């Protein structure tokens, strides 16, 4: 049985993770950490008492609970520090918080290798979203003109989403770099054409009512192809989180992307 600590336990994603861990026979919830503490983790998510109190001190909880895995759904400005702290304590971070830069990932990779403690990052834990990205990479071999629209709730802090960035990077593996649209096009308003990753435009929408959604639109001669994924509930991410918790200790170094575990 894998011992799991949930960091950011009181957040919407954190609560979903706590519930998923408590509901899985192969995982054991041994710790829960959040800026708000004091309540029982089971009662926090509407389940019977779990005997695990939500604490506010991550390092002390590592020492007391001795988890093997830390699932992190916190904030972009603290996730790197959390991951490095976990690795220094021999705990494998499963990171769902987005906003990590390439340099941040390199630091995690280096420390994971130095400590012999595997780490895992997934921009999106929904299995359907992973399939969307894999299908988009395949489609880009034949339809290289593509734009990405990602839509999230208005509380999301980073834009574009980690999923959109990873989708663009995966497409970039098989697509030659080129500028799309008219070569002389001009933005009347800055940002009207969205962000640009290797010539792929990414557009971010933030509105109440959304959870996590993305469509990848390909254009070709007389045709378009749209690949879309919708997460209507945060439970859609939990099967992927559970898979990562169970498999991470058998990995080496840093692994990025749930598709590597499927």
Active site (catalytic) residues: 152, 156
* Angstrom distances, CA of residue 174 to CA of 26, 132, 142, 171, 221: 38, 16, 10, 6, 19
Q: Are 25 and 53 in contact (CB under 8 A)?
A: no
3-class DSSP state of 15: helix
**Nearest alpha carbon to residue 6 among 46, 64, 61, 47:** 61
Distance CA 189, CA 51 (A): 55
Burial class (CB in 10 A: 0-12, 13-18, 19+), 237: buried
Q: Which residues of 24-50 are buried (b: 16+ CB within 10 A; e: fewer)?
A: beebbbbbbbbeeeeebbbebbeeeeb
Distance CA 135, CA 142 (A): 12
Distance CA 149, CA 2 (A): 37
Q: Which residues of 109-143 are buried (b: 16+ CB within 10 A; e: fewer)?
A: bebbeebebbbbbbbbbbbebbebbbebbebbeeb
Distance CA 34, CA 53 (A): 10
């Amino acid at each position: 049985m894998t011992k799991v600590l949930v960091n950011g336990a009181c957040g919407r994603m954190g609560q979903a993770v706590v519930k998923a861990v408590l509901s899985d026979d192969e995982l054991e919830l041994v710790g829960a950490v959040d800026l708000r503490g004091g309540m029982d983790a089971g009662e926090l998510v509407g389940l019977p008492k779990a005997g695990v109190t939500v604490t506010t001190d991550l390092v002390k909880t590592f020492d007391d609970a001795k988890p093997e895995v830390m699932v992190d759904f916190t904030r972009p400005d603290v996730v790197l520090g959390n991951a490095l702290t976990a690795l220094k304590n021999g705990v494998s971070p499963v990171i769902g918080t987005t906003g990590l830069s390439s340099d941040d990932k390199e630091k995690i990779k280096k420390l994971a290798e130095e400590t012999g403690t595997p780490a895992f990052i997934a921009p999106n834990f929904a299995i359907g979203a992973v399939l969307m990205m894999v299908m988009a990479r395949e489609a880009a071999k034949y339809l290289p003109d593509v734009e990405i629209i990602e839509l999230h709730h208005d509380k999301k802090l980073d834009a574009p989403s980690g999923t959109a960035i990873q989708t663009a990077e995966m497409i970039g593996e098989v697509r030659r770099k080129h500028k799309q649209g008219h070569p002389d096009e001009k933005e009347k308003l800055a940002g009207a054409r969205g962000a640009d990753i290797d010539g792929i435009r990414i557009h971010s929408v933030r509105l109440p009512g959304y959870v996590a959604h993305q469509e990848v639109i390909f254009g070709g001669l007389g045709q378009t192809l749209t690949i879309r994924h919708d997460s209507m509930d945060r439970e859609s991410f939990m099967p992927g989180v559970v898979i990562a918790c169970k498999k991470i200790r058998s990995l080496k170094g840093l692994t990025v992307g749930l598709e590597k575990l499927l």
